[in-house]
Chain A
Amino acid sequence: MAAALSLDHVEFRWPGGQAALSGVSGTVSEGTWLAVIGPNGAGKSTLLKVMAGWERPAAGTVRLWDRPLSTYRIRERARAIAVVPQRVGHPYDLTVRTVVSLGRISRHRWWDRVGRLGEEHAQAVESALALTGTRDLSERRMSQLSGGEEKRVLLAMALAQETPILLLDEPTAFLDPGHARDFLERVRLLVRDQAKTVVMAYHDLVTVGLYCDGIWAMDRGRVVLAGPSGSVLNHPELQRLYGLEFMRLTHPRHRRPMLLFP
């Protein structure tokens, strides 16, 4: 499978801080779901920001398909990569439909910018609302949504971008198990039916084992383990990473690895 994103010795340092990423290399194959795991402060969110092009690496290169990410223009990049952020501020209250339609900005032509939006944008927004089950919320305001609804709206915004690549930063944090599962199922269908490439920073190792194809385990800015989820979750190094002992089980229905705390 072709590489959608590839990183070559990427280094990143926050202003005034220690190295947040050091020597990160690896490839994310097209149409796969990659989880980035690791303890707090390991550099997961930073890695996603560098992959999104929000932050430029101090050294090394991030490539999107065959070109360095830094050579893409902002609009061009937004047609390739969409991001579901961990949380957003909304100091002033937009409606759900407005937020989802922000996902279309990178596809606005000049006449869309000056006048009324073309029909194709309305259709894309409708189908993103339908895919995420947020159509009933479309006239609500963001401040009136629950945490789970807000996450689905942000996913709808990212889907309206119609990008082949999705970056998710802790997408189910603050969600109850029902809503978390609902969200992950929607992402699973996107990977399966639309061959989207998904990179997801995540904490829950059980979920990662059930849903994701590959895992990068990070520790202090480095990728210390990388591979198919089964082999990473079974690797003895993982216990040292978290400073914990795990019980290794196999999911009775899906036959996939599960890690439990004893």
Chain B
Amino acid sequence: MTNVNQPAPAAAEPPSRHGHATRWLAWALACLLALLLGVVHGSTTIPLWSVLTALIHPGRGIVAVIVWQIRLPRIVAAALVGGALATAGASMQALLQNPLADPYIVGASAGAGLGAVAAETVLPGTMLMAPAAFFGALFSVFLAWTLSRGRGRSAMLTLLLAGYALSVMFSAISTFLMLAREQSLSAIFAWEMGGIHGMTWTTVEVAGSIMLAGLILLVPERRHMNALLMGEDVALSVGVPVRRSQGILLLSASLLTAAAVYIGGLIGFVGLVVPHVIRRVVGAEHERLLPITFLAGATFLMLADTVAENLPPLGLLPVGVITAFLGGPYFLYLLADRGRGKRATN
């Protein structure tokens, strides 16, 4: 495990309570604007005024149907997925004390992939891919966690390594199954790049409830997460029930991730990059970091989804491609910037 003992670059000075409230409002506003933008833009652009009218008077005319039944479920789903993945990423980074941790790191992605492939192989075309992926992701994390139990001090390292080993194994089985049934390759491939299409309110409600459960689990753990950043021994000595907290964090992150996979397949980069960016802005304190990370992840994915839906020459593009295109270079820029800042201060 790359335990980075190098302190992170000096983040902005901690904001006062007043500054923090302003920041909250700003992110909530950004979230709302991204949502409106997503509803306005689509295969045909609906004027903002019509969107607002349709929002206030649901059920009147074709615009209201498009807004309420097609665009809103999709954009809300994007918000939930983005928020859930970013929050799960922040939790995993605290749990494993590893800045490279993302929501999929302990095997969720390969487990979800195997679930989807298995469903498509056994019962092709039955729309069981998403629920199978949900359970595949949970199963894989559960397996990794079971292997790491009772390992005392090396539990988190074992979790990480077991997750890696399971990922490799599950990916190999997925590949084998996909090659054995060539016709399902393109459906699986599109799913693996991640995308939010054909959302219904039922899907959003089911996934949203699971995510809500994951988020509620985090509330009483947020200060324990700060202690875990100082190392397991320090956390233990200030009274954090370390093993239980780690279990709760893992459960919460897995629920958030699996529910996100259920909606949108494997969408990369949100869970890795967003927590890092927000940590630089508001600091590492989880009571501040987690809510803003959720809002920022939601905003980011709504924007990415809107871009994905509106690139005319390419048709429908998986949103995962957009997040990687937007997130990747920005993250590299941050890293390069961090290096420069350090040299300047030394």
Contact = CB atoms under 8 A, between A and B. Distances in A.
A106 interface: yes
B160 to A, nearest CB: 14
A85 B229 contact: no
A143 B5 contact: no
Nearest to B90: A92
A85 B285 contact: no
Nearest to A107: B239
A86 to B, nearest CB: 10
Contacts of A101: 223
Interface in A102-132: 102-103, 105-108, 110, 113-114
Nearest to A139: B14
A20 interface: no
A53 B283 CA distance: 31
Interface stretch (B76-84, B171-179, B230-238, B296-304): B230-238
A82 interface: yes
A141 B283 contact: yes
A143 to B, nearest CB: 3
Contacts of A260: none
Nearest to B242: A74
A93 B239 contact: no
Interface string A73-89: 01101110111010011
Interface in B1-55: 3-8, 10-11, 13-14
A99 B227 CA distance: 8
Residue of B99, B227, B229, B242 contacting most chain A CB atoms (<10 Å)? B229
B11 to A, nearest CB: 6
Interface residues of A, number: 40
Interface size range on B against A: 35 or more
A88 B235 CA distance: 11
A75 to B, nearest CB: 5
A91 B227 contact: no
B219 interface: yes
A95 interface: yes
A89 B238 contact: no
A102 B226 contact: yes
A94 B234 CA distance: 14
B239 A106 contact: yes
A52 B239 CA distance: 11
B238 A143 contact: no
A89 to B, nearest CB: 5
A103 B284 contact: no
Given A74-B241, A103-B238, A93 B97 contact: no
A157 interface: yes
B233 A54 contact: yes
A90 B229 contact: yes
Nearest to B4: A91
A136 to B, nearest CB: 14
A78 B7 contact: no
A22 interface: no
Nearest to A113: B220
A40 interface: no
B281 to A, nearest CB: 12
Contact of B230 (A53, A99, A106, A161): A99
B247 to A, nearest CB: 14
B321 interface: no
Contacts of B97: 89, 91
Contacts of A90: 5, 7, 229-230
A74 B239 CA distance: 5
Given A54-B237, A74-B236, A91-B5, A141 B223 contact: no
A89 B14 contact: no
B279 interface: yes
B240 A74 contact: yes
Nearest to A143: B7
Interface string A39-60: 0000000000100111000000
Contacts of A89: 3, 5, 97, 230-231
B222 to A, nearest CB: 9
B283 A85 contact: no
A94 B284 contact: yes
Nearest to B11: A93
A21 B165 CA distance: 36
Contacts of B283: 93-95, 141
A239 interface: no
Nearest to A106: B239
11 contacts: A78-B237, A79-B239, A83-B233, A88-B231, A92-B229, A93-B7, A94-B283, A98-B226, A99-B230, A105-B239, A114-B220
